[in-house]
Structures are given as structure tokens and as C-alpha cells.
Amino acid sequence: MSSSTPTVLPFIEWDSSVKQELLSSVEETGPVVVHGTITCTAWWELVRIWKTTYLIDPESAHQSSLLQAYNISLAPNWTPLIQGQTLRFTLIFEALPKSCRSFDFMEIIPEPGGFLVEGIPRNQTDIYRIDLSNPGL
């Protein structure tokens, strides 16, 4: 596990040429990009991501650490949402092993309610979309 603190930056909209350059970079350098959404179903809620969020290869137990978070607060700070509002954010993780065929997205925290998405199939681009509206831990 990495001990460095990920940086949190505002959400960025990229045009198609920048997206293509980013895809090329991802294939060459190996980071994993996770685009997430959280939709508020209560009157209001507070959301955040912890630096102890990992992509875990269940076969090798390898953990890819969170490097950067865009458009979501990093604990201990919070992002407030109101009912019906959808937060879209991007997380950048260290590379997964080449042998990894699927992985789990897991927020390991000292309280209930951490995010968990299991069995995400690996793809060639290492860019994924997940919905975290219903925490699993």
C-alpha cells in the first residue's frame, strides 16, 4: 500500500483529441482510470472517497493504490448532494498486474459504509465506469 496522499483536482472535460492522447498514455504507462457516479436518493447525503481505496486483484492479492481523485472530496472532507443529484468523478489508480483478469474496487475504512464493487472484468483500455450509489461494505 502506498503511503502518499492522492491529490484532489476539479472535474475536467476533455475534447476528443485530448481523450485519444490520454488513452494512448494509459496504454503506455499503465494507470487504471475509474469513472464513478453516485446518485443521491435521500433528501441529502455527504460523500467522499478515502485514500485507502484500492483496486484488488483477487487472484494475486495485489492492491493498486489511489493516485488522484477528480471532482470528489477526499476524506476527511465531504461533498454534499441533494436528492436526485448525481456526482460524476474520476479516480486514477496504479497499474494492475498484466495477469489480472478481474478486480474488486474496495474502500478500506475504519467505519461501516465503505464502497465495494466486486468482480469488475478487466478490459484492454483499463478505463472503467462504476456506480457507487449503493455502498457495499
Q: Which of 6, 16, 32, 34 is nearest to 129 (CA)?
A: 34
**pLDDT block averages, 10 residues each, the chain of length 137:** 56 58 50 97 94 96 96 96 96 95 95 92 96 69
What's 12's DSSP letter? -
Neighbours of 72 (CB within 10 A): 21
pTM: 0.76
